[in-house]
Amino acid sequence: MTTEKSKMIAGELYNANDPELVADRLRARQVCHDINHARADSPGYLQDLVGRLVPGAPASAYITPPFHCDYGYNITLGEGAYFNFNCVVLDVAPVRIGARTLLGPGVQVYTASHPLSPQERAKGLEFGVPITIGEDVWIGGGAIVCPGVTIGDGAVIGAGSVVTRDVPARVFAAGNPCRVVRPLDALVV
């Protein structure tokens, strides 16, 4: 029998009010609460909490509180990945963030989506589409990354951008909707 959780992770329509998913979100909310109220002078404790929220998170990955997510277990972080203040990750589908990738303050990453049909939405069903953010990416403050997007290695996303489609590697992209502005030279400072 297929569970609502397995349908969610597979990107199929699922019922978010399923008791298992509700319990998972409550657990993530509690760990986020603990992260968001951790003392600034106890970085080891904060890293332990990040490890509870994001299984397999490397010790070099860092989340600056406050931070919010749906589940945590659908997030994969590379070495040195960094979240600045007020980031939100709706991780109903996998979110992969590469090594040394920097998310500015207020960056929002949304895998969650809803059917376009009002009749389908009325049934309370939703779905998610994975997001992949490569290595050495910098996403400026206030940017929004929409469901299904892939951002290539070394790309830079301008502050306030709304990323609705894939961004290739080693480009500067910005705007709403986000578009490639120019390629990045090998010796960008």
Active centre residues (catalytic): 114
Distance, C-alpha 95 to centroid of its chain:
5
Cα distance between residue 66 and residue 164, in whole Å: 25
Instruction: Identify whether the C-beta of residue 145 lies closer than 8 Å to the C-beta of residue 110.
Output: yes
| Strand duo 14-15 + 125-128: pairing | antiparallel
Instruction: List C-alpha distances in Å: 83 to 59, 62, 68, 119, 126.
Output: 14, 6, 11, 37, 27
Place of tokens 């070099």: 60
Determine the Cα–Cα distance for residues 102 and 176; give it in Å rounded to an integer. Answer: 20
